[in-house]
Structure 1
């Protein structure tokens, strides 16, 4: 394992997989454009197009396409073409429901160690939105951390952090200011060991300013938030950045929509308090509305479970279940289409001769 690839975040399991491709050049995807990827290699960045095998894989499963953070292998051709031959197995994957209501998921980034959910303290954070980000982050397999920025603009940052911590069980909550440097050492510690940290958050949360502060140089453009308090899109694509001090950051554009792809471990991890109560209900299929022996309703009645948090959990459960049903319907439709194609092909190839 070379020092250059280690600096890019190469881990032992991925290094072992690379041994299966002795004739190809390894690298990590820095950014993806339409049909073209910038890949960081031991000899520097290169631009690569998709191989025929990769195009076939993408046709079968759009999520097989390269994304920022992927480890890949490249082939350098005599005519100076470079093709991306294969995407290596992903350790972690950040997937959200595609914008526009599709039942397919959109891969935001891969092979991430820590997901920093960047939330600006101005305007006041929306707890429900943070819970949504946390469900997405826990589902990825990476470690979620909530990073509250712009602490220099408020006088009660610690109080807000305490409120956020209640809604983020199991996740660290850090407070910092990119302008003054307050709290940046705790954020920088997330990158120890050449770790990969993905920044997720809404526009105007301060992701680009945070990257610049961590790097010590102005790597990314920043813009002030609008007069109505909404952020402006500064980052326009997902991009992997290797910091001079060590570690890798994946900066992402501001997310207006954070659709959950399906119900899984992410929701359970984001709402362990509600899940623990649900496990105590008298009936396994309890809807937590009117059934007798419902531990969730009991928690609401005695005040141990905040009603706001319960409502947030119910909303995300319904959304994730809906997306799971849509995905199942799509898979059934695709299987039916494949069966029809196979049947037509069989009848054509085995048509009786006159």
Structure 2
């Protein structure tokens, strides 16, 4: 009965969570149209809306990739009604352009984030650092996908450059003129695993999906004459590939505003240098014995990279904080809805005491 949901990424954990809501049905959001959602259920696809109570009481609304609990599995008697959102294991988020503090979930419950960048004028190391910082913070594993390799004169130099700013992150190089190059991506997509394609407009995300699927699932368009991409994908959409992997295609993002980032992973070199600073709370501004500023002086650290790091710290409201303080800020934000870290620690302490008495 649940084979359809398993194909769309549901596992024993999801079925166990769903059992807590008798009378409701497990579903996954596969597309969204303003306030209307398209779900996949055990009986196929149906449209759905969130209940009035959910709309006013929930702090988070469903996004593509979310698992939800709905009141029916088809639309024969009208749109299904979503009553609950199951806990997310990961989410790629961004701050909406022009609306500070308005967080948009780009893709939820993803295992891998394919960070797509084309080897034309879109190629930008600072942008890639930004994408990596958000990806590591999402809870999913990032993979850098370089598209339009036929436009690059020196692939080896580009790979070396990216490896220097993304140590430990795997890199896949593709070209639409060589369909076999896209097949390297399939090795990351085991049946039931969910990946999201993130990148600017026109980098070739839809072309990649079509290549992986072996058919024209998504429409594509030519790059404009000014070498800037067109918006082909207009909404996020979850698709199951013939091989069993799951892909969430997303509209191109010209800007990626950040709210929370993982700088310890995306800037591990600077983090390692900071551990050698004289002061544990060094901000690398004017303190004596700063290993980061010394690395700048001797040329082992690129000034562009440090400026990118500092810019992301400012945007994520981590300016002036040490790595340890940044981690504390992230934990406080995670527990904000239960009253902050202090109340969370008290709750965990009381729970531990109760468990010991049993």
Indicate the TM-score class for this superposition, using the shorter chain for normalisation.
Answer: 0.7 to 0.9
Q: How does 1:145-156 map to 2 (within 5 A)?
A: 145-156=143-154
C-alpha separation between the residues in 1 aligned to 2:120 and 2:77?
A: 53
Aligned partners of 1:56, 1:70: CA distance in 2, in Å?
A: 19
Cross-structure match for 1:72: 68
2:12 equivalent to 1:12: yes
Mapped to 1, the partners of 2:177 and 2:220 lie a distance apart of 12
| Structure 1 segment 84-123 matched on structure 2, within 5 A | 84-123=82-121
* 8 Å contact from structure 2 (residues 191, 243) kept in 1: no
Secondary structure of 1:47's match?
strand
Aligned to 1:278: 274
Q: Spell out the pairing of 1:121-132 with structure 2 (5 A cutoff).
A: 121-123=119-121, 125-132=123-130
Matched, 1:208 2:218: no
Spell out, residue by residue over 1:156-209, the C-alpha distance to the aligned partner (whole angstroms, 9 max, x if none): 223212211211123111111233114222211111132111000000110000
Which of 309, 317, 320 matches 1:313?
Answer: 309
The 2-side partners of 1:165 and 1:136 are apart by 18
Is the Cα contact below 8 Å between 2:4 and 2:44 reproduced in 1? no
Instruction: Calculate the TM-score normalised by the size of structure 1.
Output: 0.86
CA distance in 1, matches of 2:124, 2:76: 55
**CA contact 1:204–1:232 (8 Å) conserved in 2:** yes
For 2:164 and 2:22, the matched residues in 1 are separated by 49
Is structure 2 residue 215 aligned with structure 1 residue 223? no
Which residues in structure 2 correspond to 1:118-197 (within 5 Å)? 118-123=116-121, 125-197=123-195
Structure 2 CA distance for aligned equivalents of residues 11 and 276 of structure 1: 38
Aligned residues of 2:210 and 2:217 also touching (Cα < 8 A) = yes
C-alpha distance in 1, partners of 2:183/2:169?
Answer: 18
| Preserved CA contact (<8 Å) 1:169 1:271 | no
- Asked if the contact 2:47/2:79 (under 8 Å) is kept, the reply is no
CA distance in 2, matches of 1:99, 1:57: 25
Give the stretch that moved more between structures: 16-25 or 238-247: 16-25
CA contact (8 A) 1:121 1:157 kept: no
Structure 1 position 124, deviation (Å): 5.7
TM-score (norm 2): 0.85
Q: Distance in 2 between matches of 1:84 and 1:179?
A: 43
* Runs of 4+ off more than 3 Å: 77-81, 322-325
* Residue 237 (str. 1) matches residue 235 (str. 2): yes
Report the Cα distance in structure 2 between the residues aligned to 1:112 and 1:178, rounded to whole angstroms: 25
RMSD, aligned α-carbons: 2.4
1:20, distance to aligned residue in structure 2 (A) = 1.1
1:11 CA drift (Å):
2.9
The C-alpha deviation readout for 1:6-41, integer Å capped at 9, x for no partner, is: 210113322321121232111110111222100011
Secondary structure at 1:191 match in 2: coil
Decide whether aligned partners of structure 1 residues 4 and 81 sit closer, same or farther in structure 2, where only a CA change above 3 A counts.
closer
Give the aligned partner of residue 34 of structure 1.
34
- Secondary structure of 1:183's counterpart equals helix
Q: Aligned partners of 1:158 and 1:181: how far apart in 2?
A: 20
Q: 1:298 aligns with which of 294, 298, 302?
A: 294
Tell me by how many angstroms 1:71 deviates. 0.5
Residues 203-212 or 43-52, more deviating? 43-52
For 1:39 and 1:124, the matched residues in 2 are separated by: 34
